[in-house]
Amino acid sequence: MEGSSVTYPQLFYEAKCLKVLQGVPGIPAIFWSGVEGEFNVLILEFLGPNLQDLLSVCGGRFSIKTTVLLGIQILDILKCIQAKGFVHRDIKPENICLGQGVNSGKVYLIDFGLSKRYLSINDAIFGDE
């Protein structure tokens, strides 16, 4: 939620990005976005803890195996969102979450408020193929 009177609203832009990215592995499902009273609202899939919280629980360190498994999933997600023409621009442990229940081992990327669309050099030269 964000106040509807904020100077630089980001929630609707984030919702627009997430709608384009739906179906990409590691992108949370978007259920609704709109205005409710004095707030802009975005309702996403309920996720588990973020990596910053997990680091605190683990004493500030992940095992090598955990680090590699997380890294592979994070890189796969970034590859997919960049293939869709987006750059996240705010990668940090607080913006990487784990799923819940059957998706508890799955990594999700959140907070696309600072992300940008881009045109790759290949798209600029050859067009969208």
Confirm whether 90 is a catalytic residue: yes
Predicted confidence (pLDDT) per residue in 30-40, tens digit: 999 999 999 99
Predicted confidence (pLDDT) per residue in 74-118, tens digit: 999 999 999 999 999 999 999 999 999 999 999 999 999 999 998
**CATH code of residue 7:** 1.10.510.10
Could you give the CA distance from residue 29 to residue 58 in angstroms, rounded to a whole number?
28
Catalytic residue (choose from 90, 111, 123, 128)? 90
Tell me the three state secondary structure of residue 45.
coil
Position with higher pLDDT, 124 vs 48: 48
Percent residues over pLDDT 70 in the chain = 92
Instruction: Give the domain extent around 95.
Output: 2-126
Residue 120's pLDDT band, with cuts at 50, 70 and 90, is: low
Averaged pLDDT, 61-66: 96
* DSSP secondary structure letter of residue 24: S
| Residue 109: closest CA among 78, 66, 67, 72 | 78
pLDDT at 19: 96
Position with higher pLDDT, 110 vs 124: 110
Dig out the tokens for 121 from the structure.
Answer: 């050099």
pLDDT at 128: 55
Averaged pLDDT, 15-19: 95
Number of domains into which the chain is organized: 1
| Residue 91: closest CA among 118, 52, 119 | 52
Average pLDDT over the chain, rounded to an integer: 92
Q: Given a cut of 60, is residue 50 above it in pLDDT?
A: yes
